[in-house]
Structure 1
C-alpha cells in the first residue's frame, strides 16, 4: 500500500490563509490603469445596481468569463453606452463591478480580478484536495479492513479444515489398524482351514488308494 500524503492543516496555516484572503479582498480596489489622456480615469467603480439592471434587461454582451468554485469574473460590453463592465461574482451574486471605456483597460481589470478570484478560491481548491484525499484514505481503509476480514476468515476456515483433516486421518489410521488386524486374523484362519483341507484331502486320497489296491489284487486272482 503506498504511503498517504499528510493532509493536515495547522491553526497557523489557517490563520495565514484567512489573512491572505483579507488582503486579497482589500486589494480588489487596487487597480491602477494609466491612460494616454491626463486626468482621465480609464477604470473606475461602477454602480452595482445599474449593472444588475442592464444584465437583467439583456443590454450586456458577455465577452469573457472566468470561474473558480464560488467566484466568477465576467467581462461585459455595453453597446449602447460603448463601455465595458468587469464584474466579480460570489456564489452567483454580483459583488463588485469595474467599468472602463476602453477594451485594453477592461482586459487589464479582468486579469486583475481573475487573479484575485483565484486567490480567494485557494481555500476551496485546498478543501477539494483534502476531501478527495480523505475519501481516498477512507476507501483504502475500507479495502484494508475488508482484506483483513477475508484473511481472518481464511485463517479460521483453515483451522477448522485442519482439525477436520486431522480427525479424519486419525479415524482412517484407526480403521486401517482394525482392517489390518482383521486381515491378519483372517489369513490365520485361512491357513488353518487350508491345512485342514489338505489333511482331509490326503486322508480321503489314502482311502481311495486303499480301495484301488484291493481292487487290483482281486483282478490278479
Structure 2
C-alpha cells in the first residue's frame, strides 16, 4: 500500500502549517485525521488478508496449422480479355466445361505459370474470371460459377420447356381437330348413306306395291280371259252331237 500522508497542523511562531510524513505502521484511516495539534492519530488496525478467487486454468489444445494464402484469399481476379487472348494463343488447357444455353463455365490450366483459371462465358465471350494456385480451389470456383450459370439460364430453361410443351399441345390440338373433322365427315357420309337407303327403301316399297297391284290386276284379267275361253268353248260344242264310247 502506498504511504498515506497525514496532514497535521503544527503551530509555530509564524503560524505556518507543515506536512508531516507518517510511516505505514503509524498511518491512520482517513476518517481519523486529527483536527488539531492536541489530538494524535490512533494506530490503524492491521488489514485482514484478502482472499482472491482461484480461476480454473484453461487447457490448451494444439491448433492445426493452415497454409496461408496470399492476402488470405484462395482466388484472385483475372482479366477476361487476358483469358480470351491466352485461349486464342493456345496457352490454356481446358480441364472442365459446363454449358447452359447462352452461359458456359470453363476450368482452364496454364502450364507455364502453374495457374488455374475459371471463366464464366456469356454468348461465347468471357464475362467473369478468377485464377487460383491449386486445383481444389479452382474446382470450388468452377462449382460456384456452374451454379451461377444455371441460375442465369433458368429463364431460358423454362422458356425451352414451355416452347416444347406448347408445340406438343399445338400438335395434339391439330390431331384432335383432324380427328373431329374425320369423324364429322364420317357421320355426314353415314347420314347421307342412311338417307339414301331410306329413300331407296321407300322407292322399293312403292314399286313393290305397284307390282303387286299389277299382279292382282293381271291375275284378274287372266281369270276373266279363262272364263271367256270356257264360255266360248262351251258355245262351240253346243252343235256337235255327243258321242259315247262303246
TM-score (norm 2): 0.66
Which of residues 184, 189, 197 is equivalent to 1:152? 184
Deviation sequence 1:75-100 (CA, Å, 0-9, x none): 01010111011111111111111111
Distance in 1, Cα, partners of 2:174 & 2:150: 35
Question: Structure 2 CA distance, aligned partners of 1:205 and 1:158?
Answer: 68
CA RMSD of aligned residues (A): 2.3
- Higher-Rg member (1/2): 2
Structure 2's unaligned 5+ residue stretches are 1-65
Match of residue 222, structure 2, among 171, 182, 190: 190
Note closer, same or farther for the CA distance 1:56–1:207 as it changes in structure 2 (3 Å cut).
farther
- Residues 110-121 of structure 1: matches in 2 within 5 Å? 110-121=142-153
Counterpart residue number, 1:131: 163
Match of 2:68 in 1: 37
More helix by share: 1
SS in 2 for 1:81: coil
- Structure 2 CA distance for aligned equivalents of residues 132 and 50 of structure 1: 39
Between 1:154-163 and 1:122-131, the stretch displaced more is 154-163
Shift of 1:198: 3.9
- Which stretch shifts more, 100-109 or 142-151? 142-151
SS of the residue 2:68 aligns to: coil
CA positional deviation for 1:126 = 0.6
- Report the alpha carbon displacement of residue 150 of structure 1 after superposing the two structures with TM: 2.1
Answer whether contact 2:95 2:109 (CA < 8 A) is retained: yes
CA distance in 1, matches of 2:144, 2:239: 137
Question: Which of residues 110, 116, 138 in structure 2 aligns to 1:84?
Answer: 116
If asked which structure has higher relative contact order (CA below 8 Å, sep 6+), I would say: 1
Kindly state the Cα deviation for residue 139 of structure 1 after the two structures are TM-superposed.
Answer: 1.4
Q: CA deviation at 1:156?
A: 2.6
Instruction: Determine which of 119, 122, 145 is the counterpart of 2:154.
Output: 122
Count how many residue pairs are aligned between Structure 1 and Structure 2. Answer: 180
Gaps of 5+ in 1: 1-34, 217-221
Residue 60 of structure 1 pairs with residue 86 of structure 2: no
